[in-house]
Amino acid sequence: MKRLDYPHVGEILYETSLPNGLPVLVSPKPGYAKSYAFFATKYGGAMRRFNLQGRAIDTPAGVAHFLEHKMFDMPEGNALAALSQNGASPNAYTSGGITAYHFESTQGFYENLDILLKFVSTPYFTAESVGKEQGIIGQEIRMTEDNPYFALYYGLLRALYDHHPVRESVAGTVESIAEITPETLYDCHRAFYVPSNMVLCVAGDVDAEKVAAAAERILPGELSEVPRPDYGEPEALEPTAPRVELAMDVSAPQFLVGAKLPAPESGADILRQTLICELALRSLVGRSSPFYTGLYAEGLLRADFSYGEDFSCGTAYMELGGESAEPERVLERFVSEVRRVSENGLEPEAFERARRADYGLTLRSLGSFSSLCRALADGAMNGYRFLDVFEVSRSLSADDCAEYIRENFAPERLALAAVTPRGPKG
């Protein structure tokens, strides 16, 4: 395996690409008792339409999430139980663009790694088990429909996007998952759960060559073609609806402001654009910014205020929000702050403070094996090395972020989604 050294942050990374196309990345952590493995496929809830071996396939909403649940079933039993009995703490998740399976353990790491690699690469679905899971996930969907943040988040995405499948719930609907059959799951596994569309990341006191050897021994050896998801026609950068309001059983209004961003194709530009957006938001609305401190002092923002960006599955967008009695006033102040920066630029001191804070938080995240492996996997899937983030950060300037704010956070690009308290019944 190739060794990469990052002496300025005290990190070493081993990486290789197996003959079947699987990237394997190992971050050695000598002396640590815990080890962590993260095995993911570049397949998520937004990847509903694709072509497999000359056949156009259009799947119901929620298949990727449903498949995640069913992958733990094996002919000889349940992989979740097997990992737990062997001292591991396993879990999985599905987002719009990725499905990931992971575990941490302090003992039996290589045995647990074998189990992880085997069950994720071994589809086993029956009509009976699929029917049972439809009932379980149906209950999960109904619960999330009553969750204010869930409603707010997808309300914002529907305001931003006209037809891109990212606007729909990763879990699907009760009606859409009723259409899922074992054949649907086999088709999607055959298409996306191939080594050339996956990545294996490990952190801990482990032997990197032994990790790669396990993957080569257990996973299919052939290099498979990966279907290209069809997200539909490109969308304009302006939102579909500038305002969305939902009435729910909440004690106080909650809101999200968002904007669609230009989405880089892949490679180092994704890392650079993500970091510019992150620093732009931190400089503009971070905890030490005049925007946040002023609105907090006036009672228009609370400590739950947060912000972030997402670059995945052919989309890019930013969001910021929290609880506020007057979301429209918060939006007005944000527009005013964007206008000020657009005209005058970012203060160098504010930008440098934001960059140092971001640098420190990223550096601290290297101590979390789960955060590190997820970031390494995201980079491998998108054609860049995550640990280059520190070098890229040093190359950015206040002018880079001010220009990004000027081009992407203009009033006509913004959408506001709000959840307001439902009025008294009857």
Query: Can you give the CATH number for the domain in which 79 is found?
Result: 3.30.830.10
Nearest CA among 123, 41, 39, 33 for reference residue 87: 33
Average pLDDT over residues 336-356: 95
The band of 332, judged by pLDDT with boundaries at 50, 70 and 90, is very high
The DSSP bridge pattern shows strands 254-260 and 73-74 to be: unpaired
Residues 6 or more apart whose Cβ sits within 8 Å of residue 399: 345, 346
Q: Are residues 16 and 142 in the same domain?
A: yes
So what's the pLDDT on residue 57? 86
Give 243's Cβ-side CA count (13 Å radius).
Answer: 5
Q: Are residues 249 and 211 in the same domain?
A: no
So what's the pLDDT on residue 344? 96
Alpha-carbon gap, residue 159 to 415, rounded angstroms: 6
Task: Tell me the residue range of the domain where 331 lies.
Answer: 243-421
Nearest CA among 359, 350, 368, 344 for reference residue 395: 359
Question: What pLDDT digit, counting tens, does each position of 360-386 carry?
Answer: 999 999 999 999 999 999 999 999 999
Structural domain includes residue 37: yes
Domain end point (choices 185, 218, 251): 218
So what's the pLDDT on residue 425? 55
Q: Are residues 133 and 277 in the same domain?
A: no
Q: Are residues 138 and 272 in the same domain?
A: no
CB 102, CB 44: distance < 8 Å:
no
Question: What pLDDT digit, counting tens, does each position of 256-277 carry?
Answer: 999 999 999 878 999 999 999 9
Number of domains comprising the chain: 2
The band of 32, judged by pLDDT with boundaries at 50, 70 and 90, is very high
Alpha-carbon gap, residue 72 to 69, rounded angstroms: 7
Question: What pLDDT digit, counting tens, does each position of 155-184 carry?
Answer: 999 999 999 999 999 999 999 999 999 999
DSSP 91: E
Alpha-carbon gap, residue 182 to 189, rounded angstroms: 11
Nearest CA among 98, 99, 35 for reference residue 70: 99
Q: Are residues 173 and 248 in the same domain?
A: no
- Opening angle at CA 247, ends 46 and 326, nearest 5: 100
Q: Which amino acid is at 312?
A: S
Q: Are residues 59 and 120 in the same domain?
A: yes
What number of other Cβ atoms are within 10 A of residue 142's Cβ? 11
Average pLDDT of the chain to the nearest whole number? 95
Alpha-carbon gap, residue 356 to 128, rounded angstroms: 54
What is the H or E stretch that residue 216 is in?
Answer: helix 208-218
Residue 52 has pLDDT above 80, yes or no: no
Alpha-carbon gap, residue 423 to 375, rounded angstroms: 43
Q: Are residues 293 and 212 in the same domain?
A: no
Domain end point (choices 170, 201, 218): 218
The band of 426, judged by pLDDT with boundaries at 50, 70 and 90, is very low
Q: Are residues 50 and 98 in the same domain?
A: yes
Phi, psi (rounded to 5 degrees) for 195: -55, -35
Which residues does the annotation mark as catalytic?
68
Q: Are residues 266 and 409 in the same domain?
A: yes
Q: Which amino acid is at 359?
A: Y
Structural domain includes residue 256: yes
Q: Are residues 196 and 264 in the same domain?
A: no
Nearest CA among 278, 380, 403 for reference residue 40: 380
- The structure's pTM equals 0.94
Question: What pLDDT digit, counting tens, does each position of 392-414 carry?
Answer: 999 999 999 999 999 999 999 99
Alpha-carbon gap, residue 298 to 39, rounded angstroms: 46
- Opening angle at CA 110, ends 106 and 113, nearest 5: 95
Average pLDDT over residues 123-137: 95
Nearest CA among 25, 18, 129, 143 for reference residue 71: 129
Give the alpha-carbon dihedral of 339, 340, 343, 345, to 10 degrees. Answer: -120
